[in-house]
Amino acid sequence: MSKTFDALKPYLDRAMALKAAMALFEWDNETLAPKEAGRLTSKVIGILSGEYFGVVNQDKVKELAKACREDSGLTQAEKAQVRELSEELEKLGCIPREEYQEFARLASESARVWAKAKEKDDFDEFAPMLEKVIGFQKKFAGYRAKDGQKKYDVMLNDYEPGFSMEVLDEFFGAVKQEIVPLLTAVKSSGVMVRDDFLTGEFTDEQQERIGRFLAEYVGFDFSRGVMAVSAHPFTTNLHNKDVRITTHYNQNLDSSLFSVIHEAGHAVYELGIDDELTQTFVGEGASMGMHESQSRFFENIIGRNRNFWIPIYGKLQQAFPEALTDIGLDLFVRGVNKAEPGLIRTEADELTYSLHVLIRYELEKELIEGDLTVKELPGVWADKYEEYLGIRPETMKEGVLQDIHWSQGSFGYFPSYALGSAFGAQLYYHMKKEMDFDGLLAEGKVEVIREYLREHIHKHGKLKDSRRILKDVTGEDFNPQYYVRYLKEKYGELYRLKG
């Protein structure tokens, strides 16, 4: 270890400890915290985030970071940490501390106002808050923009380095051009897919038991993780010995089954990060998109694959005898792969999912770079759903108020969901050349696939960005055509489409 880095390390450790504390509060907010705790907890989060700002953005740290950049004796992991720190310093250096702290408090409060407005189905109650949040985000992006860089590109870069509007316009262009007609073909195919058996009166206990089984089956380690319940499933990562997932239980069996596999996919990524990197600035997934590629890989490419269920379908039938006893494996697998336009992104099937994201991308771009106003948002949202999916939301809950992201200031986040699916498809076609993918699943050897992902992606944390990872693993730069091919092949077969 380099001496210069040695001197910097205690500051990084303090910053990481504060980050972990904030993450734990956020986790707690969504799972166990009492309803009334919100406002006072927001204050605590605001203060902690101010402390984080102070620890990182100080002269001593800047000095040490500079010395580290000039020191040739750093290891690869140390170099990467200094690179991340330098980016963080650049970001924080542009934003006055009071504004940074005020925004952290506002974002936490805004998420609560959003939740209430959603419950009451009242967009007007949330609109002023959203305007404030957008105001802050535009201001921050303006501070940070370099050489004529667009504000939305600054935001996108936070989630997915290397994917500016220029790259995304091309990606979503391909999505629009290929997926919209594919969906039309599916709808007019006349093929009916049964999925009625997935809806019923399932108890929480039944769902919890199978959820735990599935999480463990795909590689979630309960000695280094816990599973709780929240309104929307998510994963929180403290370090590679403490990764937490949540799930939800409802009357749609597939929703609870596949969200557990999805979150377990996120968790497997974080659990797989090297000990050398965990609890450091590079000790987490490479990017939002790469993270989503792993969760969606587990959920869809593995979890909705017929072979995945061969060894365990009997167990599922036993867990839900009323619903599944008479339903054979093929019927079940077809049912969980049914494509049907819906209003809710998180409930969407693989085919329509990217259209939900496309809509959000177009709206964000207009909100940040164009002249779409918050007031006009609900109407334009509904119009786009009608245009791309052929359905129109009747309520705000099922429309513009459905996602939490904008309330927290996360603009530029949504594209990573669709990119994740596309990364996953590219990895999948490559892996099929390297291993008998379906055969492994059929034999219950998910761990071979998981180990491949750990070795090639997970253990590296943030040492490389997503484009570098794709290139190193598949030998090719990001190529959205694999995703289009994957959806065409999968749904072409399921809905017996020609060509």
Contact residues toward Zn ion (CB under 5 A) are: 295
Which member of 26, 263, 362, 364 is catalytic?
263
Inter-CA distances, 263 with 29, 109, 225, 253, 319, Å: 18, 25, 12, 16, 21
Q: Closer to Zn ion at the Cβ: 7 or 228?
A: 228
The answer for residues whose C-beta is within 8 angstroms of residue 241's C-beta and 6 or more apart is 224, 278
The answer for residues whose C-beta is within 8 angstroms of residue 461's C-beta and 6 or more apart is 273, 274, 277, 278, 282, 283, 284, 285, 286
Question: CA–CA separation, 490 vs 340, rounded Å?
Answer: 14
- Within a 10 A sphere around the Cβ of 411, how many other Cβ atoms? 26
Cβ at position 247, least distance to Zn ion in Å: 13
Cβ at position 402, least distance to Zn ion in Å: 15
The kind and range of the H/E element at 243 are strand 242-247
Residue 263 catalytic?
yes
Beta bridge partners of 20: none
**Amino acid occupying residue 264:** A
Question: CA–CA separation, 296 vs 480, rounded Å?
Answer: 16
Q: Closer to Zn ion at the Cβ: 49 or 295?
A: 295
Q: Closer to Zn ion at the Cβ: 391 or 404?
A: 404
Structure token digits, residue 316: 């599922």
Question: CA–CA separation, 365 vs 371, rounded Å?
Answer: 9
Q: Closer to Zn ion at the Cβ: 289 or 399?
A: 289
The count of residues in the chain is 499
- Phi-psi group of 152: left, alpha or beta (phi > 0 → left; psi -120 to 50 → alpha; rest → beta): alpha
Question: What residue number has its CB nearest to Zn ion?
Answer: 295
Question: CA–CA separation, 239 vs 183, rounded Å?
Answer: 41
Q: Closer to Zn ion at the Cβ: 57 or 295?
A: 295
Question: CA–CA separation, 463 vs 451, rounded Å?
Answer: 18
Cβ atoms of 228 and 26 closer than 8 Å: no
Cβ at position 479, least distance to Zn ion in Å: 22
Alpha helices, DSSP H only, in 121-150?
A: 123-144
Inter-CA distances, 495 with 70, 257, 389, 400, 499, Å: 59, 23, 18, 31, 12
Q: Closer to Zn ion at the Cβ: 191 or 231?
A: 231
- DSSP state for residue 252 in the 8-state scheme: B
Question: CA–CA separation, 46 vs 268, rounded Å?
Answer: 30
- Which residues are identified as catalytic? 263
